[in-house]
Structure 1
Amino acid sequence: MKPGFILLIMGIALLLLGGIPAVLNFMDNQGFPYPLPTTFFQAHWFVMVYGFFLLLIGNELLVALSNEWRGTSAPTWLIVPFGILTLISNLLDELNNPLSYYLVIVALVLLINYSRVYLSPSRIGLKPTAYNYLLFYTLIITSIIVSFQAVFGLPWLGLAFPALTIFAVMSRDLGLVLGGKRVNQDEMTLAYVSLALGILSYGTVISPILIVIGWGLSLHSSGIPWSKGRLYPRIALTTAWTWLLISALVQGNYDAYIHSIALGFLFNTVFGVDSVLIDMLVGITGKRLSVKPSYVPLILLNLGLVMRVAFDLGISSPLLLLSALLQGIGILSFYVLTFRQVIPQMRKVDKDETLIVKGERTTRS
């Protein structure tokens, strides 16, 4: 089994370990009428950010992007230690050992060191773009944030890592998922800076203003709602950006703010750019894959999140007890439905076939 695939499996395992207890805890906090197991695996936010998302983003940098930029993935001797460090850091955090943060920093340093290759021309002579630089800067910013968190905590700062990575990726990959739409990279860079400052200044009066500015600039530069291309990613990404705007408007409620970004923005984006996940699997397996999306995960996730925010804002109804459960099922069903289609193809499809994502021939630029 290739190291990149192991990283992917580890990431999904941590997603389950961090997500399932969180669902049960939130249902218990809502007053679920029956006892629920709420005392196991309490490191929810750390596992999601520095477990699941760190492995997902690390896989993109060490495998998918590396195959595109260098023609080969990162060496096994680098991928394996990165995965081990990430796994051990999450286990230590569950044990309330502060060394967990320092192992995350070491894992990030490995990514930073390897990502220097993206600041040089590619194997076919392509020059680095905003995408390359923003990914690199995101890793540096995140390492500083983790150093700060090792002393002061403040879990909400961790949102900057996956959120800024998405803005970096969007500066290039939106062209793939939105039918060749050209993204204004200068404007996207300004949006990136504004979002970074908005997240880092959470709790101040300027934070929602900066997030709204970042939202507006990124939406204008990408043209997501009015772009051409496939309907599914347009709906998912428009929904994601809607939740990003909502996060700025509900900052007075911590849970609503955190999960508007963590679930609404991040996971709707993951759903919408599932072609990036396919690219990752192509990089791991060398095979050409196709996936037909389902709207079921999208509907379940967002219905559950609307119910959660309604509860956070003071609305009371027994139906809202289903909010966390619907969110969890939505996320889990996305990966189940995706891998249900992908795994058989990983065994059968010829490597020389044209890459087809959801019935359309695509190329990576």
Structure 2
Amino acid sequence: MTVEVFTPRRVLPVMAPGLISLVLGGLGGVGIMWSWAGASFPLKLQIPQHYVLMVAGFFGALIGNELLNVLSLEWAGRQAGRPLLALYAALLWALVFTAIGGLLAAAALIYVAMLAVLALYSGEVYLKPSKVGFRPPVSNHLVVATLPVSALLFITAVFLGGSWGVAALFFPVGMIYAIMARDIALVTGVRPSRPYLGAAAYAALVVSFALWVFGHVRPAGVLLIVSGALSVMFSGVARYARRGRLFSYVKIWSAYLWLMAAGVLLVVGGPGLWWDVAVHAVALGFIFNIVFGVDVVLIDMLMTQTQQRVVVKVGRGGGAPVLELATYILLNAGLAARALYALSAAGALALLSGPLVGIAVVAFLLYTQRRLMKLSA
């Protein structure tokens, strides 16, 4: 059997429209928040356009790249073929153009097609034995299950009048749950030993989003808190603290705290701004803190084929890279500013929140891309 070598440049066709979505959707989000503060911004998007670009466009590219390239190579010994990558990239570009043009119905149809492509490929790859003969673990089954569940939830929301944005958000959150069932061991060094907790956390997440999509926010919030707590117990981050991964632990704990904070806001907060804070606590606080916490470990393993990485001290000479610390602080400060704006309606906080988060995300992605490119140098 021929085993491929990871080729970072093969991720570019999928990530290019994703990065365009990130820039346009992020700037559009900044413009929305600035309008709340009475300030003008050059790019004006409606909230649904912002959701489509960020969730379907950017997260669709990020997770699509993970499933078609990175995880595929690790599990099956091969990346997706160029025709399939070209098809998925074409769908992403079509999504970007329809979203910018305000053709939301067309964008929704394209998003479902993207999920279908990923579902067909994932079912073909991740439900078969690995390149070395291992049987598919629970995480593989969750990855495959997340795709049709995401499509079903989104289609139901479209036809029954639910929230498109919340329905679409299940895809990246559910996929994070699925992938973390496997990747968390890279941080803790210990494989999760209680899979029933992971299954219960995932089930609670599915029901929570189904309720949230159709406006049943209080029970949805309770289940979101339960799901986060079960996921923490399943992952092992509450029991293990490896010295060489302490900064990753901080990021992962921050992610789960934001997830459970979103649940609290759904239970006790009102509509409007508090709904917005809850959505972004999940979309940015949970997802990006997890990505920040785990991806740096994955990149190190790809680059060095070792799990040795000291991330305790902050400084130029070693330890947690300054850029990693800076992106973590900016991301969480931006989210905190968003929550404080909902509490105080201080315009300065609305002006600061979006740029802080945007700088953090773009800087982290550029940092990660630069390190990936070293693999092909």
TM-score by length of 2: 0.83
Amino acid at match of 1:37: P
| Equivalent residue number for residue 13 of structure 1 | 20
1:144-193: CA deviation from partner (whole Å, max 9, x where unpaired): 12323444361221111111111111111100122335353221111011
Deviates more, 1:16-25 or 1:254-263: 16-25
Residue of structure 2 aligned with 1:31, choices 28, 38, 46: 38
How far apart are the structure 2 equivalents of 1:347 and 1:209? 46
1:59 aligns with 2:89: no
How far apart are the structure 2 equivalents of 1:70 and 1:188? 24
Deviates more, 1:197-206 or 1:132-141: 197-206
| Equivalent residue number for residue 214 of structure 1 | 227
SS class of match (1:313): helix
Residue of structure 1 aligned with 2:342, choices 312, 336, 339: 312
Structure 1 segment 45-194 matched on structure 2, within 5 A: 45-97=51-103, 98-116=105-123, 117-151=125-159, 152=161, 154=163, 155-194=165-204
Kindly report structure 1 stretches of 4+ aligned residues shifted beyond 6 Å. Answer: 289-292
> Whose helix proportion is higher, 1 or 2?
2
1:212-257: CA deviation from partner (whole Å, max 9, x where unpaired): 1111110111122442230121010000000001001112321111
| Equivalent residue number for residue 358 of structure 1 | none
> Could you say if the C-alpha distance between residues 255 and 148 of structure 1 is closer, same or farther in structure 2, counting changes exceeding 3 Å?
same
8 Å Cα contact 1:172/1:183 also seen in 2: no
Residue of structure 1 aligned with 2:375, choices 346, 353, 356: 346
8 Å Cα contact 2:150/2:167 also seen in 1: no
> Could you say if the C-alpha distance between residues 262 and 21 of structure 1 is closer, same or farther in structure 2, counting changes exceeding 3 Å?
same
Amino acid at match of 2:41: L
Amino acid at match of 2:205: L
| Equivalent residue number for residue 250 of structure 1 | 265
Deviates more, 1:165-174 or 1:21-30: 21-30
Question: Displacement of 1:340 after TM fit?
Answer: 3.8
Question: Displacement of 1:312 after TM fit?
Answer: 1.1
Count of matched residue pairs:
340
1:44 aligns with 2:50: yes
Question: Displacement of 1:271 after TM fit?
Answer: 0.6
| Equivalent residue number for residue 360 of structure 1 | none
8 Å Cα contact 2:70/2:79 also seen in 1: yes
| Equivalent residue number for residue 317 of structure 2 | none
8 Å Cα contact 1:181/1:227 also seen in 2: no
Question: Displacement of 1:347 after TM fit?
Answer: 4.5
How far apart are the structure 1 equivalents of 2:248 and 2:157? 34
8 Å Cα contact 2:32/2:46 also seen in 1: no
> Could you say if the C-alpha distance between residues 339 and 58 of structure 1 is closer, same or farther in structure 2, counting changes exceeding 3 Å?
closer
How far apart are the structure 1 equivalents of 2:239 and 2:341? 32
How far apart are the structure 2 equivalents of 1:192 and 1:79? 29
8 Å Cα contact 2:61/2:92 also seen in 1: yes
1:232 aligns with 2:247: yes
How far apart are the structure 2 equivalents of 1:119 and 1:244? 29
| Equivalent residue number for residue 361 of structure 1 | none
Amino acid at match of 1:260: A
Question: Displacement of 1:75 after TM fit?
Answer: 1.2
Amino acid at match of 1:234: Y
| Equivalent residue number for residue 354 of structure 2 | 324
Question: Displacement of 1:264 after TM fit?
Answer: 0.7
Question: Displacement of 1:207 after TM fit?
Answer: 0.9
1:278 aligns with 2:299: yes
How far apart are the structure 2 equivalents of 1:157 and 1:342? 32
8 Å Cα contact 2:262/2:277 also seen in 1: yes
Indicate the RMSD between aligned Cα atoms, in angstroms. 2.4
How far apart are the structure 2 equivalents of 1:261 and 1:166? 11
* Identity, % of aligned positions: 31
How far apart are the structure 2 equivalents of 1:15 and 1:120? 33
Amino acid at match of 1:106: A
Amino acid at match of 2:339: V
> Could you say if the C-alpha distance between residues 11 and 276 of structure 1 is closer, same or farther in structure 2, counting changes exceeding 3 Å?
farther
Question: Displacement of 1:122 after TM fit?
Answer: 1.4
How far apart are the structure 1 equivalents of 2:114 and 2:338? 33
8 Å Cα contact 2:153/2:210 also seen in 1: no
Question: Displacement of 1:2 after TM fit?
Answer: 4.3
Amino acid at match of 1:39: K
Amino acid at match of 1:240: A
